[in-house]
Structure 1
Amino acid sequence: MRARFISGTLATALLVAATIVNVPPATAVKAPAIISLGDSYISGEAGRWRGNGNYPYGSRYGTDLAAYNCNRAETSCSYDPKLIYGTSAAECDRSIGAEITHVEKVRVNREVFRITPVNRLNIACSGATTTDVTKNSFKGEAPQVQQLRNYASSRDIKLVVLSIGGNDIGFGDIIKSCVTAFTLYYYCNTSLAGPVKQRITALYPKVRDTVRAVQDVMRNAGYRNGSYRMVVQSYPVPMPAGKDNRYPETYKQRFEEGGCPIYNVDADWARNDVLPDLASTIRRAAGATAAEYLELRNALEGHEVCAKGVSQSNSGDTLGHPHAKRNSEWIRWIGGLAQGYVQESLHPNAYGQEQLGACLGHMASRSKNTFDCRIGSV
C-alpha cells in the first residue's frame, strides 16, 4: 500500500514537471514611454533658470534653481548645476524640467497611454547636429539613433519628438555675430542674410534624412506604422520684435541690464526671415516623411527676453516665492551676465520649457497631425 502511494505521488510530480516544462515563458510587458531627440532646444538647455535676475550673488533673486545652502536673505548660496542637469551638466544639459518631462499621456489612434515620469526619456544633447543624431558619437555618447534603438527594445515607445537643424545652420554663431555687431555699431544681417538663406536651403535633406533614420530604427525594432507617433518641432522665437523691446538700443541698457544686445533690425531679421524660413524647411521635411509637425515659433510670444509687458525678477523674489510666471521672461538672456553657462543664452528657461511641454502635451493627448502652439491655446 505504501509503495503504491509513493509511486502515485512520484508519477503526479513527474506529470506536473512535464507540464511546467512545456509552458511557454510569460512575455514581459514593456512600459509605454516617450522620448525626445535632437539639440539644446529640447534637451533642456537653460532649465537651470526660472526667469532672469540681474544680481550676481545668492539665488539671483530666486531665479537660480541650482542654488542651495543659501542664507536666509538668499544673498549667499552654493551652486550645483547637477541639481538641474544631472551628469550632463556643461555638456548635453538635459534638465529635470525639459519639455518631454511635462507630457503625461499620449493618444495613439484611439488609445490613450499614461506615461510615468521615469518613462519620459530625454537623449537630446546641446550642440547636436543632424549627423550627431544619425551617425556621430557626440560628447562621449553614441549617436542618438543608436540610443533610441536600445530604448525601443526595452520600452514600448509611443511618441518620438525631434528638434534639429539649428546647429546645422550655425544659429549660435549667428547670435554671436549679431552681438558683436551691436558692440561695434553695425548691423549683422547685411552680411549674414545671404549665407544663412543658403544654409537653410541646404538643411532640408538633412532634416528629412534624419527623420527617416529615426523611423528606420523604429521599424527595425518591430514598430508598425501607426503604433507610435513621430513629431518634428520648430524653434520658438527668443526675442521680441524691435518695437516690442522694452530697452533702448544702448550698450548699458540692452547689454548690461537687459541681456539682449542686438539691434532692432537684426532682431526683426531673425524673427521675420530666419526663423520662418527654418520652420518652413522643418515642416517640409516632416511632410515628406509623414511625420507630425509642432509649430513653436509663437509659443513664447510676449515672454521673450526683454519683451514689453514682462520683467526680470527683483530683490523681493526668492526661491520659495519666485517672480510669477505670467510676469516673467521665459527665455534666458544673452551671456548670462556673469551667471551660469554662456551656452544657455537665448534658450527657453524653466518657465519656457514648462510652456513648450504644455504645447507638446496638448498635441500628444489629441489626434493632431499639426499644431501651431500659441499663448492661450494650451
Structure 2
Amino acid sequence: MSRSRWWLAGLALAGVVVLVAVFVLVDVGDQGPTERPGPPGTGPLTVVSMGDSTISGEGAGDYTPRTNGRAGNWCHRSANALVHKVRYGGAVESVNLACSGAPSGHVALGDVKQYTEPSQAAQLRELVKTHRVVAVVVAVGANDEPHFSRLISECFTAWFMETGSPCSERIKADWQSRVDAMVPKVTAALRDIRTVLRQAGYDREDYELLLQSYASPIGAGIPESLRNLNGCPFRIDDLKWVEQTGAVSLSAGLRRAAAGAGARFLDLSRAGEGHEACSGGDRADNEWFTRFTVEWDDLKVVERASHALQESFHPNAKGHEQFARCVSEFLATNDPAAACLEGQDGNLHAAPSPVARGNS
C-alpha cells in the first residue's frame, strides 16, 4: 500500500473514532434522569398490613404461636389474614404487623404498647431494612374514641336486659363526637407511616398507602332462631343501628382521616351485606364473619380465660379472602377512593364509592 493510501486509511479511522465519541457523549447527555425501579433498598417486594383486629386476622384462626397468648401477646395474627392474600406490584412476600385491639397510637410512632408489642410504625422502620415495601394496608380507629368492639359488647349485654332500652339509644347521644375525635389520631398514625418510609429513602410514588374502613359484622336480616347465644344475641334495634348507622358513619370519619394524610381510602361499610354473622341461618358456609364464639379450652386456663370470647364477630377466613380480592383490585387502579361491593358473581369488587360521588 502506498504512503498516500496509508494516510487516507489513518484519516478515516480517526474520523470513525471521533464519530463514536460524539455519539457516546450525545447518548449519555440525552438520557436524563432514569426512572426508579420501585421501592429503594434491598430485599423482596412486600405488602404490609398495620392496624387492629379487623386486619390482624382475629376470627380467621390459625394464629401464629407467638401472637396466640404466648407471654401475654394476644395480637392474633392469622395465616389467613387479608395481607397474605393481596396481590399487587409484583410483591412476593407479605408481613402482618397488625395487632388485635390496637388503637391509632400503637400504629403511630411512640411508646404505646399493645399486648407487649412496640409501635407498629417502629416495627415498619426495622422491616424496610430488609424488605422493599410496595403497599401498606391499614385498618385502625375503631379502638380509639368510638370503641366499636366495646359497644358491640354492650349491645350483647343489652340483649340480656329485656326491660331496658336498646344499647344503641345510649350510643347515639355522642357517637358522632366520638368519631370526630378519632379522625386526627388516625391521620397522625398514617403520617407517621409516611415519615418512616420517607426517612428510609422512599418517595410517595414508590408505594401505596391505603386506609380501609370496617365492615359491619352483624345485620338485622338474621333468623330469629339465632338471635341468642347460639349465634348472635342482639336486639333488632341494635342490629339495625350497627349496620345502617354505626359502620357507615365510622367509615365517613375514616375517609376524612385518609384525606388528611394523602392516603387512598377503601370503604368496607357495606362489604358484608348478606354475609354477616348468623345471616346464613342453619348453614354458615356463606358467612364472612364469626358468630358468638367461645374458646372453651381457654376458660380452663386463668391467663387465657379473659380472651375466650375474643374471636366473636370478626371477619373469618372467607371474609379475609373476599376483602383481599377487593383490596387487590383497588390497588391496581389509580382511584383515590372506592367501596367494596358484592358483584353478580358473588364476590367483592372495588366499585365507585357513593360518598366519593357526593351521595350520602
Q: TM-score range by the shorter chain?
A: 0.7 to 0.9
Q: Name the Cα RMSD after superposition.
A: 1.9
> Residues 337 and 143 from structure 1, CA distance in 2 versus in 1: closer, same or farther, beyond 3 angstroms?
closer
> Residues 347 and 329 from structure 1, CA distance in 2 versus in 1: closer, same or farther, beyond 3 angstroms?
same
State which of 267, 271, 288 in structure 2 corresponds to 1:299.
Answer: 271
Partner of 1:45: 58
State which of 157, 166, 171 in structure 1 corresponds to 2:142.
Answer: 166
Residue 6 of structure 2 is aligned to residue 34 of structure 1: no
Please tell me whether the aligned partners of residues 223 and 281 of structure 2 are also in contact (alpha carbons under 8 angstroms). Answer: no
1:227-279 Cα distance to aligned partner (Å, 9 max, x none):
11100000011112x2x22225xxxx42233x211111111111222111110
The residue matched to 1:336 in structure 2 has which SS? coil
The residue matched to 1:230 in structure 2 has which SS? strand
How many Å separate the matches in 2 of 1:351 and 1:312?
17
State which of 228, 232, 240 in structure 2 corresponds to 1:268.
Answer: 240
How many Å separate the matches in 2 of 1:150 and 1:178?
40
Residue 84 of structure 2 is aligned to residue 101 of structure 1: yes
Partner of 1:336: 294
Please tell me whether the aligned partners of residues 42 and 130 of structure 2 are also in contact (alpha carbons under 8 angstroms). Answer: no
How many Å separate the matches in 1 of 2:201 and 2:41?
16
Provide TM-score, normalisation by structure 1: 0.72
Alignment map for 1:184-223 (pairs within 5 Å): 184-185=161-162, 186=164, 187-223=166-202
Residue 81 of structure 2 is aligned to residue 123 of structure 1: no
Provide TM-score, normalisation by structure 2: 0.76
> Residues 157 and 283 from structure 1, CA distance in 2 versus in 1: closer, same or farther, beyond 3 angstroms?
same
Partner of 1:278: 250
> Residues 41 and 28 from structure 1, CA distance in 2 versus in 1: closer, same or farther, beyond 3 angstroms?
closer
State which of 62, 66, 91 in structure 2 corresponds to 1:87.
Answer: 66
CA shift for structure 1 position 193: 1.4
Structure exhibiting the larger radius of gyration computed from Cα positions: 2
What are the ranges of 5 or more consecutive residues in structure 2 without an aligned counterpart?
1-39, 299-307, 350-360
**Equivalent position amino acid for 2:87 in 1:** E
Q: Percent identity among equivalent residues?
A: 30
> Residues 142 and 304 from structure 1, CA distance in 2 versus in 1: closer, same or farther, beyond 3 angstroms?
same
Please tell me whether the aligned partners of residues 91 and 134 of structure 2 are also in contact (alpha carbons under 8 angstroms). Answer: no
Please tell me whether the aligned partners of residues 256 and 337 of structure 1 are also in contact (alpha carbons under 8 angstroms). Answer: no
Q: Which has the higher contact order (CA 8 A, sep 6+)?
A: 1
How many Å separate the matches in 1 of 2:41 and 2:253?
41
CA shift for structure 1 position 41: 0.4
Partner of 1:345: 312
What are the ranges of 5 or more consecutive residues in structure 1 without an aligned counterpart?
1-26, 49-82, 107-113, 314-322
State which of 225, 228, 235 in structure 2 corresponds to 1:255.
Answer: 228
**Equivalent position amino acid for 2:102 in 1:** A
> Residues 28 and 360 from structure 1, CA distance in 2 versus in 1: closer, same or farther, beyond 3 angstroms?
closer
The residue matched to 1:356 in structure 2 has which SS? helix
> Residues 195 and 157 from structure 1, CA distance in 2 versus in 1: closer, same or farther, beyond 3 angstroms?
same
1:179-226 Cα distance to aligned partner (Å, 9 max, x none):
111111131112221133321111111111111111111111110121
Count residues with an aligned counterpart: 288
The residue matched to 2:205 in structure 1 has which SS? coil
CA shift for structure 1 position 339: 7.7
CA shift for structure 1 position 40: 0.4
> Residues 215 and 146 from structure 1, CA distance in 2 versus in 1: closer, same or farther, beyond 3 angstroms?
same
Alignment map for 1:352-371 (pairs within 5 Å): 352-371=319-338
The residue matched to 1:217 in structure 2 has which SS? helix
The residue matched to 1:255 in structure 2 has which SS? coil
> Residues 260 and 212 from structure 1, CA distance in 2 versus in 1: closer, same or farther, beyond 3 angstroms?
same
The residue matched to 2:215 in structure 1 has which SS? coil
Please tell me whether the aligned partners of residues 312 and 329 of structure 1 are also in contact (alpha carbons under 8 angstroms). Answer: no
